[in-house]
């Protein structure tokens, strides 16, 4: 059973609008969360992180929200740009050690011009 | 600064053949990892290393071996390839400092076993 779920395999958004990518997890011990972005034929690249001591973290157009009681996090991209079209993975860990991060299956975001 | 590099980028093997995937990083990272990515699934950890000369098993280690003889290199070996090992393989490395230990990934190796 997947511990980290991204229930939307794909998402399409108009350029300039908000993109919201969701991630749910089942392990209540998870305290560290990461989002990665992946373009075709490239490896994932780190985008933004959050730990459970916060419920929000912002970096430019990207904001991650964490709702620990609901075991849910979301990535907001505002405004969305065509260059944001990629696959987005969330990852979670209980102890911040790299080998223990569990990755979700990813959501493919398409930003339409 | 090349970051994390992987060779080869593509490979086709016949069942039973062996091969080694090479990962190299120039960021002086202590930790290195090998993942596989299959359709509809997240990255799954095969093996990892917390320093030169050390390796450990991840979630899906069966059928693979690894070695970390030099800090900058992490090798993944398939001794007898099987069709179930058809996948995209990613190597990654990470610091062990900072608030959260994000990983830096290579571009991937697409392996097909026929």
All residues of chain A having their beta carbon less than 8 Å from the beta carbon of residue B105 are 36, 43-45
B48, B90, B100 member nearest A99 (Cβ): B48
pLDDT along chain B (114 residues), means of 10: 92 97 95 94 93 94 97 97 97 80 92 97
All residues of chain A having their beta carbon less than 8 Å from the beta carbon of residue B58 are 99
Q: Is B34 helix (H, G, I), strand (E, B) or coil?
A: strand
Is B110 buried (19+), middle (13-18) or exposed (0-12) by CB count in 10 A? middle
CA distances from A75 to A16, A62, A78 (A): 16, 7, 10
DSSP A98: G
pLDDT tens string A65-111: 999 999 999 999 999 999 999 999 999 999 878 888 999 999 999 99
Q: Report yes or no: A96 at the B interface, CB cutoff 8 Å.
A: yes
Residues A56 and A106: their CA atoms lie apart, in Å, by: 21
All residues of chain A having their beta carbon less than 8 Å from the beta carbon of residue B36 are none
pLDDT tens string A47-59: 999 999 999 999 9
B48, B56, B105 member nearest A43 (Cβ): B105
């Amino acid at each position: 059973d997947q511990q980290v779920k991204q229930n939307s395999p794909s998402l399409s958004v108009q350029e300039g609008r908000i993109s919201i990518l969701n991630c749910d997890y089942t392990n209540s011990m998870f305290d560290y969360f990461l989002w990665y972005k992946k373009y075709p034929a490239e490896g994932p690249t780190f985008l933004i992180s959050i730990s459970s001591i916060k419920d929000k973290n912002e970096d430019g157009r990207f904001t991650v929200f964490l709702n620990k009681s609901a075991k849910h996090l979301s990535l907001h991209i505002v405004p969305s740009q065509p260059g944001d079209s990629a696959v987005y993975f969330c990852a979670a860990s209980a102890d911040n050690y790299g080998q223990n991060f569990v990755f979700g299956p990813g959501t493919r975001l398409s930003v339409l011009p | 600064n090349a970051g994390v590099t992987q060779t080869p980028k593509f490979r086709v093997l016949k069942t039973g053949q062996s091969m080694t995937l090479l990962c190299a990083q120039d960021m002086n990272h202590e930790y290195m990892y090998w993942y596989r990515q299959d359709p509809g699934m997240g990255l799954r950890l095969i093996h990892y290393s917390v320093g030169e000369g050390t390796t450990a098993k991840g979630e899906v280690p069966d059928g693979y071996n690894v070695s970390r003889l030099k800090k900058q290199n992490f090798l993944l070996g398939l001794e007898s390839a099987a069709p179930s090992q058809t996948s995209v393989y990613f190597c990654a490395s990470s610091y062990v400092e900072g608030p959260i230990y994000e990983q830096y990934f290579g571009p991937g190796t697409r392996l097909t076993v026929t």
